[in-house]
Structure 1
Amino acid sequence: MRFYRHLTLLLCLSVSLLACQRQSKSKTEKQAFQVDFEKFTLDNGLTVVFHVDKSDPVVAVALTSHVGSAREKEGRTGFAHLFEHLLFLESENLGKGGLDKMSARIGGSGANGSTSRDRTNYYQTVPNDALEKMIWAEADKLGFFINTVTEQVLSKEKQVVKNEKRQSYDNAPYGHTSYVIDQNLYPKGHPYNWQVIGSLEDLQNATLEDVKEFYRRWYVPNNVILTISGDFDPAQAKAWVEKYFGEIKKGEKIPALEKKPVTLAQTKKLYHEDNFARLPELTMTWPSVYMYHPDSYALRTLATLLSDGKKAPFNKVIVDEKQLAGRVNMSQYGSELAGQFTMSIRGYEKVDLNNLHAAVEEAFQRFEKEGFSDADLNRIKTAQEVGFYNGLSSAQGKGFQLAQYAIFAGDPGFISKDIQNMLAVTREDVMRVYQKYIKGKNYVATSFVPKGQTNLILAGSQKASVVEEKIVEGAEEKFDASTQASYTRTPSSFDRTKEPPYGKTPETRVPNVWESKLGNNLKLVGITDREVPLVQFNLRIAGGLLLEDTAKVGVSNLLSELLLKGTKNKTTEELEEAIEALGASIGINASEESFNISGRTLARNYQPTMALVQEILLEPRWDAKEFSLIKQQVESQIKQQKANPNSIADNNFRKLLYGKNHILSRNILGSEGSVKAITLEDLKNYYTANLSPSLASFQIVGAVDQQEVINSLAGLNQNWKAKEVRLPQYPTPAAPTNSTVYFYDVPGAKQSVLRFGYLALPATHPDFYPAQVMNYILGGGGFASQLTQQLREGKGYTYGIGSNFSGSVLPGPFVIQSGVRSNVTFESADLIKQILQNYGPNYSAQDLEVTKGFLIKSNARAFETMGAKLGMLNNISTYGWPYDYAKRREALVQGMTVAKIKELAQQYVNANKMYYLVVGDAATQLKKLEQLGFGKPVLLN
């Protein structure tokens, strides 16, 4: 990804974007899904797929190249992902940073990209008046880009990609697991033997000619699919596609790669001492099948049956009975050429992985003995149906899936076959693939253990080959990112330097909101939305951590976990089965200021789903054994957080913001000591005293009307009695009058995690939204922001950086957060300080124009998905905002002036009145931070 998200998330693309097309009215297993798309091919080989959806005035544009890490050469790995970055930087007709600047002006979602083993994509959702602009910009990537790549550009982006690798892999617990697995599952020479992100050495050794050769080979029209989905005129769009893409030259013919499944001659066992791990982890991976292989569907179902839910044999043996781990993760991941079936189990502290492995064998034996029922299988199919509908919620999701099927199945309309294959899986299929691919077959086993705990590794394991980067001051090469490229322009039949005009301006569509109130004081707020046959809901009860005893923090979180472990009349297993049989999902979580029960279900099953919600809320089981298991799992989570630099930063920054006496300075999970001290009676007391409809609001979006919702809550209205609950009033901590640097030492950290800020405004403050407007160019605007432009694009110090105000009903923090290369910790902090000091004085009319363009135009896509609509209802019910607050904010932005922005910046982003927290390697970085001018840093550990 371009920023903040891990590349490994792309492993789930074929599942998470499983279903992105419309279906017929039939809802039986013999469904025939109607795929609405138009496909055509230009003379140069460019494949184009359109999908029209008029539900929102937005359009998603995606350019997908059939090239990933599998098309790279050994010794030159990471090129596909490097190009994912490079293609955003400059092109001949948009200029340096042109796409990001345009994205901000037109109200786009932020141009982004992702890379997998087999494809790279570039995508953005924009208001539909900007479609021609996006087609123009995407064509520039494909035909008018490579001349702009210079040695300086390449050097800078190498640093950004290396920072991404450090952040997502080298500086993260268990970050090297996939590297060790792939090195041993796929033989040398196999295109899946190396990682998508590549190696630091290969990235450093990449030459400009290497890069240009790679581009000319793979970034050609005949290897690319353009997908456009959303609200647009296909005839007009076709003319624009022909105009901007048609004259780009066709490349050499690219033959399809043959499937390359692998087999293992023997089981391989590897271990690694992980600097950031605090718990031992066992991962077992078997060779399986490629994407859309007939057996892939049964393997996916097998993974769910074995590991997911109370009834699953692995949960029964490993989690419940032997209590060796808190959960078991299992998945089938198919790529274009081969596939793998993986099981990962993070044991509790100091669990011997040999004992865990023995439990795995026992769980497999139990599965063979006990099997599973047709009801178990049907529950999974129902859940898959919900996943299918959920994929329909955004224009971008539809575009992604069209491209996915077009490339890897040869037909954008493969979705009908894909769903049929999924729903056609039988019990016999599942047992057959288990016998064929898993039972008694060789696998790769990895033991990742904390430093100094090799006594926990699987017997017979060999030390894995993992390259650990050393922290060396001044080791990175220098570059000048401001250097202008000199080149001969690529010829065109028309003037491509002129940005196309806007189309007809779309009007912000604020959904119709209805509101009601039950007799027990429960407030209702909803939106009827029948675009897909789904319903999403959230029951928010104010309180959460705020209502806890400071001596026993963690009660509300434990309660949120326990309420889903059965009801008065249902065991945990029976409750799970009841939920899954409806194709529903119900989740409960406690936050700092609320307790939430949320869910999603098929509209046809809404009433019985709400009956289960009522049963969960009003008839808890209070199962002592489940309570004990949950406490063990939470203690394990707390131990894991102690080794994760980002969690360390978040937990310590919270302490700085609120001070030791404020409840919000505590971790919502509690501490190891507090969790041990909490009893089941503590949970009952919290439940009885604090969960009241008087503090609650029910928010709902979907294919149900107001009266249906009111009827569905009749039981709650009658049986959930109102009682007065007073939220405690904590004094608001004062912001610092002078800046101080705090440092938390993580020896050997490859990155320093930064949290700079102070406690600022509540969401209800009149200045809250104006402050967000002010922050857009500072750090809230992604690639349009100064923090990103200077620290990432200008210096290559970081993979991602941003700033935001996050108030609620209580004052929340203004925070700047990032992970930077360890050996530029001081340089990064000093540059941030300079940016803050200069921000108000140097703010310009052009900055305001960009801010207005984005914040006003982006409202066209503000409520596209059900989740976005639900978020709108949460804002309305929690903060008392008017239904049309989005429209009112447009007027506020229109009236904003440069003088007002300068005033807000002076008041709310003062570099000399903040906490500066750094989590990193103290031995190499602590002393230099004295140069910031804020005194001697305070070492926190």
Structure 2
Amino acid sequence: MRTSYLLFAFALALTSTLASAQKAAAPKATFKVDYEKFTLPNGLQVIFHIDRSDPVVAVSLTAHVGSAREKPGRTGFAHLFEHLLFLESENLGKGGLDKMTARIGGSGANGSTNTDRTNYLQTVPNDALEKMLWAEADKLGWFINTVTEPVLAKEKQVVKNEKRQSYDNNPYGHTSYVIDKHLYPEDHPYNWQVIGSLEDLQNATLPDVKEFFRRWYVPNNVTLVVAGDFDKLQARKWVEKYFSEIKKGQAVTPLAKKPGLVKETTKLYHEDNFARLPELTMAWVTVEDYHPDAYPLEILAQYLSDGKKAPLYKVLVEDKKVSPNVNMYNQTAELAGQMQLSVRAFSDKDLDEAAAAINEAFAKFEKEGISDKDLSRIKAGLETRFYNSLSSVLGKGAQLAQYNIFAGNPGFIEKDINNTLAVTTADVMRVYNKYIKNKNYVATSFVPKGKTALALEGSKKAEVSEEAIVQGAEGTIDPSAQATYERTPSSFDRSKEPPYGPAPRVKIPVVWSEKLANGVRVLGIENNEVPLVQFELVIDGGLLLEDPNKVGVSNLVARMMTQGTIKKTPEQLEEAIDQLGASINVFAGAEDIRIRVNTLARNYQATLGLLQEILLEPRWDIKEFQLLKQSMISQIRQQEANPNAIAQNNYNQLIFGKENIRSKNILGTIESVNAITLDDLKAFYDKSISPSVAHMQVVGSLGKTAITTPLSGLIAKWKSKPVNIPAYTTPKAPEKSQVYFYDVPDAKQSVIRFGYPALAATDKDYYPASVMNYILGGGGFASQLTQQLREGKGYTYGISSGFSGTNGVGPFTIGSSVRTNATLESAQLIKEILQNYGKNYSEKDLETTKSFLIKSNARAFETLGSKLAMLENISKFGWKPDYVKEREEIVKNMTVEQIKQLSQKYLDADKMFWLIVGDAKTQLSRLTALGFGEPILLNK
């Protein structure tokens, strides 16, 4: 379900509410999203939005059907169709939209399903618009005949793998299932999960599936949005050509609003196989989308839980030290809503303590309320979030569809804004009293195995169905099977794919550069699409500068830098940032410490002043230091049971070797974090935070002078000093392959990481090798790994491969989560693909690779984030501003023979680490058959 404030709901005119905090009201901001809407005779609603900033167009098709339209016992159908509609249609043929995406340089056709709608969306170069409209129409009118028993059987396995990966094999993954079963009665359409149950998916028949499609995927239940740089008159002709002859379906009756029902407070517990910390989640019944009370409820949740002033933070984190953080949010959908509060407590904390602390925080709020200043602070943050949501045509298009379907008007933005602006402090207290105070709720206690004593007193055992691991339980699939069916008639030949339009002109942003007096190099791009400035200050070092025997210092230094300054307490600093509608985050990585800033352009200079305080005048608050250490230890404990975190941490040790600092977890260990003192942080700060190893990237709606002139204060006060970053030798690839296994008992999937130390990003072969990898595992659905393991066998929800070097050598990695009972089979298939890759690489593969990598450049710089990434590459690796053009030439000149040579050089299956994190009792012994000797168990 969606959170109650959708992308366009964040008020642009919120500026005027800041008067109390800023002494004088800022001018009222305006931001109009123009659109044009028309409806075809068959009921299809079409919305156009023009955006000429980049030569791209986003096409989204949204059906007003989600899990709420399903029948009990046949759940998961809407989500199943989200998958099926990408596979094949009568005129696109096998591979469908996924296959076409690779040829046309699309962003990767994607989709999502919630309780109330399913959408399909993609951004493409604008020369491919007619192709996209042809393809989307084929989904709606020329698709369902291609769904056969083999197709359905295979996609069931893919969806079940998604469920295992996202829910069953994840800590706390069943929380929503348990809550929704008790927040909504059995006859309520939100009683079951969007993804459905494994049993329902397995029992779905072909007639069931076809009936569901024909009822809901009809033009009169669909909205089509086209957003971007295109000709409206021509686009309308194409829409009418491709969609008009699709027949109108049965009328769709709106579902009545139906709130959840909790007759008495219900407490349930579950022993979670993957949890190391107890977690309490509480849920109350609230209201649906766009209900007048949804607006103050959203602000209530944010005020109660976000930031150091929040009552829940004050009591649970600072006073009672129950948990490192608290999350609370109001979740709304078409028919109903719920307020949810979640506390992941420290190890062995009784959740009754957490519940008592929550009640104490509520009492504190009841006594103190919310001030006008805090209300305006929250609204300022919403304004910035609003602008961030508009940085892509895809986001704007999806939101226009959302408003059209659920508010009945794509232009609902104005009413939404007014509803937000109208919220008062009295409204916030009113909705608290109406929906939260003394109201019945559902509470879940998810606790580690064997620790039911930590659950809330009076809790009953939750009914959670866990899948047994049975070898050979899934049937085999024939991926080559061709569907036979009677073709759907059309008034013209739809089997002929439309031609490309005029080739788009790739717009490489103009980059400006400035070397500051203290040595910092600043690179920037002026971008006036939204009134924001985003920038990063990158200080080289990070983990590389740490003592290998006391890892965790750089991470704590980064986190401490936003915990107050000499002039401001932690709370005062946070409030000053929030009042500007800004965000300032500092975090450490393997090679650097980064300060990432997002702010309204008009507040750039004021935000820079706060950054200067953070950077040069850290507070070193002992209380915050102790809280952060507790938080880090809590995170480390959580990683100990998370299969993906386990896989990554152990893979790093194999790739870099235990003597290389890069093999260490940036968080440290429980022992090392406990041993770290505040003096350790100060010493690290003194030796490493210097402009001599810093560079800055800026993108936003201010020019070079407006960006660099306010940096004068920082230049004057931040003095340069030498920083010596140690050089570590990265081990070479192993002489022979070896299987390593980490046991997570009863894991529902096996997490795999196969690879070896490969190349630095600056190596002359790095980009050519990446081009070579596109068809192997870098091209999504165009890749052999995806086609064979997901589409062919149903072993996984997703798999990829790639090179990830920086200035130092990084690994080549194949990564996935595969069905537990297909662990060996997945590894064997990957080994076979690697061994045959160069031999079977074809001219057609090269054509697909070239088409995607060249055409996708049209959308390479659309968002602020993509422009920042471009500047980072230029700054870090010394590349030219037009390095994209240089890469384009590499792609154009690539030959099949070069691909074969590169694959032979960099894809040796017999010289890799083969790491598997999964269930040892059922899978470990089987892996000997992979041919790399006896597996080594890492956690005996």
Alignment TM class, shorter chain as reference = over 0.9
Matching residue's letter, 1:165: K
Matching residue's letter, 1:446: T
Give secondary structure in 2 for the equivalent of 1:172: coil
CA distance in structure 2 between the aligned counterparts of 1:32 and 1:110, rounded to whole angstroms: 33
CA distance in structure 1 between the aligned counterparts of 2:405 and 2:917, rounded to whole angstroms: 43
Matched, 1:265 2:263: yes
Equivalent residue, structure 2, for 1:454: 452
Query: Is the contact made by 2:325 and 2:344 (CA closer than 8 Å) also made in structure 1?
Result: yes
Give CA deviations for 1:845-871 in whole Å, capped at 9, x if unaligned.
Answer: 100000000000000000000011011
CA distance in structure 2 between the aligned counterparts of 1:606 and 1:656, rounded to whole angstroms: 44
Matching residue's letter, 1:11: R
Give secondary structure in 2 for the equivalent of 1:713: helix
The one of 316, 319, 325 equivalent to 1:318 is 316
CA distance in structure 2 between the aligned counterparts of 1:87 and 1:875, rounded to whole angstroms: 37
Equivalent residue, structure 2, for 1:372: 370
CA distance in structure 1 between the aligned counterparts of 2:506 and 2:620, rounded to whole angstroms: 48
Q: How does 1:68-107 map to 2 (within 5 A)?
A: 68-107=66-105
Q: How does 1:128-207 map to 2 (within 5 A)?
A: 128-207=126-205
Change (3 A) 1:766 1:32: closer
CA distance in structure 2 between the aligned counterparts of 1:70 and 1:259, rounded to whole angstroms: 12
Matching residue's letter, 2:7: L
Query: Is the contact made by 1:697 and 1:877 (CA closer than 8 Å) also made in structure 2?
Result: yes
The one of 240, 243, 252 equivalent to 1:242 is 240
Give secondary structure in 2 for the equivalent of 1:718: helix
Equivalent residue, structure 1, for 2:558: 560
Equivalent residue, structure 2, for 1:488: 486
Give CA deviations for 1:124-175 in whole Å, capped at 9, x if unaligned.
Answer: 0000000000000000000000000000000000000000000000000000
Matched, 1:773 2:778: no
Deviation at 1:196, TM superposition (A): 0.2
Equivalent residue, structure 2, for 1:573: 571
Percent of aligned positions that are identical: 66
Query: Is the contact made by 1:279 and 1:348 (CA closer than 8 Å) also made in structure 2?
Result: yes
The one of 62, 74, 79 equivalent to 2:60 is 62
Deviation at 1:217, TM superposition (A): 0.1
Query: Is the contact made by 1:33 and 1:416 (CA closer than 8 Å) also made in structure 2?
Result: no
Give secondary structure in 1 for the equivalent of 2:247: coil
CA distance in structure 1 between the aligned counterparts of 2:31 and 2:857, rounded to whole angstroms: 32
Matching residue's letter, 1:876: I
The one of 781, 785, 788 equivalent to 1:787 is 785
Change (3 A) 1:71 1:391: same
Matching residue's letter, 1:748: D
Give CA deviations for 1:184-204 in whole Å, capped at 9, x if unaligned.
Answer: 000011000000000000000
Deviation at 1:714, TM superposition (A): 0.7
Change (3 A) 1:22 1:490: farther
Deviation at 1:705, TM superposition (A): 1.0
Change (3 A) 1:264 1:98: closer
Deviation at 1:726, TM superposition (A): 1.3
Deviation at 1:732, TM superposition (A): 2.0
CA distance in structure 1 between the aligned counterparts of 2:52 and 2:84, rounded to whole angstroms: 33
Deviation at 1:390, TM superposition (A): 1.1
Change (3 A) 1:29 1:522: closer
CA distance in structure 1 between the aligned counterparts of 2:708 and 2:223, rounded to whole angstroms: 47
The one of 848, 853, 856 equivalent to 2:854 is 856
Give secondary structure in 2 for the equivalent of 1:512: coil
Equivalent residue, structure 2, for 1:437: 435
Matched, 1:506 2:504: yes
Query: Is the contact made by 1:20 and 1:391 (CA closer than 8 Å) also made in structure 2?
Result: no
The one of 205, 211, 218 equivalent to 2:216 is 218
CA distance in structure 2 between the aligned counterparts of 1:811 and 1:584, rounded to whole angstroms: 36
CA distance in structure 1 between the aligned counterparts of 2:273 and 2:422, rounded to whole angstroms: 45
Give secondary structure in 2 for the equivalent of 1:560: helix
Give secondary structure in 2 for the equivalent of 1:257: coil
Equivalent residue, structure 2, for 1:11: 2
Give CA deviations for 1:431-490 in whole Å, capped at 9, x if unaligned.
Answer: 000000000000000000000000100011110010000000111123322211111100
Equivalent residue, structure 2, for 1:6: none
CA distance in structure 2 between the aligned counterparts of 1:31 and 1:422, rounded to whole angstroms: 15
Deviation at 1:20, TM superposition (A): 9.1
Give CA deviations for 1:823-879 in whole Å, capped at 9, x if unaligned.
Answer: 000000000000000001111110000000000000000000001101100111011
Change (3 A) 1:25 1:239: farther
Give CA deviations for 1:523-568 in whole Å, capped at 9, x if unaligned.
Answer: 1100011111000000001110000000110000001111100000
Matching residue's letter, 1:655: Q
Matched, 1:754 2:752: yes
Equivalent residue, structure 2, for 1:593: 591
CA distance in structure 2 between the aligned counterparts of 1:111 and 1:251, rounded to whole angstroms: 26
CA distance in structure 2 between the aligned counterparts of 1:289 and 1:672, rounded to whole angstroms: 43
CA distance in structure 2 between the aligned counterparts of 1:613 and 1:646, rounded to whole angstroms: 34
Deviation at 1:367, TM superposition (A): 0.7
Deviation at 1:104, TM superposition (A): 0.4
Give secondary structure in 1 for the equivalent of 2:419: helix
Query: Is the contact made by 2:477 and 2:792 (CA closer than 8 Å) also made in structure 1?
Result: no
Give CA deviations for 1:334-353 in whole Å, capped at 9, x if unaligned.
Answer: 00000000000000000000
Matching residue's letter, 2:495: T
Give CA deviations for 1:585-614 in whole Å, capped at 9, x if unaligned.
Answer: 000000000100011000000000000000
Deviation at 1:262, TM superposition (A): 2.4
The one of 414, 418, 421 equivalent to 1:420 is 418
CA distance in structure 2 between the aligned counterparts of 1:712 and 1:772, rounded to whole angstroms: 40
Query: Is the contact made by 2:12 and 2:386 (CA closer than 8 Å) also made in structure 1?
Result: no
Give secondary structure in 1 for the equivalent of 2:645: helix
Query: Is the contact made by 2:581 and 2:599 (CA closer than 8 Å) also made in structure 1?
Result: yes
The one of 285, 305, 308 equivalent to 2:306 is 308
Q: How does 1:667-706 map to 2 (within 5 A)?
A: 667-706=665-704
Deviation at 1:31, TM superposition (A): 6.0
Deviation at 1:380, TM superposition (A): 0.6
Query: Is the contact made by 2:509 and 2:525 (CA closer than 8 Å) also made in structure 1?
Result: yes
Give CA deviations for 1:733-758 in whole Å, capped at 9, x if unaligned.
Answer: 11111100000000000100000001
CA distance in structure 2 between the aligned counterparts of 1:20 and 1:814, rounded to whole angstroms: 41
CA distance in structure 2 between the aligned counterparts of 1:262 and 1:107, rounded to whole angstroms: 44
The one of 395, 398, 403 equivalent to 2:396 is 398
Deviation at 1:416, TM superposition (A): 1.3
Query: Is the contact made by 2:476 and 2:793 (CA closer than 8 Å) also made in structure 1?
Result: no
Matching residue's letter, 1:123: L
Query: Is the contact made by 1:23 and 1:34 (CA closer than 8 Å) also made in structure 2?
Result: no
Q: How does 1:486-885 map to 2 (within 5 A)?
A: 486-885=484-883
Deviation at 1:263, TM superposition (A): 3.0
The one of 379, 382, 389 equivalent to 1:381 is 379
CA distance in structure 1 between the aligned counterparts of 2:11 and 2:875, rounded to whole angstroms: 33
Matching residue's letter, 2:711: L
CA distance in structure 1 between the aligned counterparts of 2:760 and 2:689, rounded to whole angstroms: 24
User: Which moves more between the two structures, 704-713 or 41-50?
Assistant: 704-713
Matching residue's letter, 1:349: S
Query: Is the contact made by 1:33 and 1:415 (CA closer than 8 Å) also made in structure 2?
Result: no
Instruction: Name the Cα RMSD after superposition.
Output: 1.3
Deviation at 1:18, TM superposition (A): 3.6
Query: Is the contact made by 2:15 and 2:28 (CA closer than 8 Å) also made in structure 1?
Result: no
Matching residue's letter, 1:280: P
Deviation at 1:929, TM superposition (A): 0.6
Equivalent residue, structure 2, for 1:7: none
Give secondary structure in 2 for the equivalent of 1:552: coil
Give CA deviations for 1:56-83 in whole Å, capped at 9, x if unaligned.
Answer: 0000000000000000000000000000
CA distance in structure 1 between the aligned counterparts of 2:640 and 2:324, rounded to whole angstroms: 17
Equivalent residue, structure 2, for 1:895: 893
Deviation at 1:23, TM superposition (A): 8.5
Deviation at 1:391, TM superposition (A): 1.3
Give secondary structure in 1 for the equivalent of 2:458: coil
Equivalent residue, structure 1, for 2:19: none
Give secondary structure in 2 for the equivalent of 1:425: coil
Unaligned runs of 5+ in 2: 17-24
CA distance in structure 1 between the aligned counterparts of 2:7 and 2:270, rounded to whole angstroms: 33
Normalising by structure 1, report the TM-score.
Answer: 0.98
